[in-house]
Amino acid sequence: MSSFSHVDSAARPTMVDVGDKTVTKRTATAETRVRFPHAVAEALRGQQFNTPKGPVFQTAIIAGTMAAKRTHELIPFCHPLGIESCKLAIDMEGDDAIVRCTVSVHHKTGVEMEALTGASVAALTIYDMCKALSHDIVIADTRLIEKRGGKSDIG
């Protein structure tokens, strides 16, 4: 038997059966960092984080929310979930934008992948909206920082 949850005893990929699990409130928070060159961060601050494409952070929040809700369409073995809450926050820390996505649901399976997807797509949207200023923007340090509900808690 494999210790990987999405591989069966014959080493074939498989979706986890959550049929016998208990419905509980499950919450996950993920974050990622968008590293801007100093000149780009200063230009964005000077424009209140607007570019010719529009308001950068507001657009990223919408994109991240949409992505979190559609995670099951992107990640093969994710279960479709009726997400109850998806909150994205984007804050500047020096020349970096910190994107944090918190997702919650009452379900039999967790929302870690939804939170990670939401944060990642928000970061990609920031990159897309700012790439005309520089291609030296780096998306880094994407990670799960908290998970509550289910078998184990993290963070």
Q: Would you please indicate which residues are annotated as catalytic (active-site) residues? A: 128
Q: How far apart are CA 89 and CA 32, in angstroms?
A: 11
Q: Which residue has the tokens 């020096």?
A: 94
Q: How far apart are CA 117 and CA 125, in angstroms?
A: 12
- For the chain, what percentages of helix, strand and coil (3-state, to nearest 5) are there? 30, 35, 35
Q: How far apart are CA 150 and CA 3, in angstroms?
A: 18
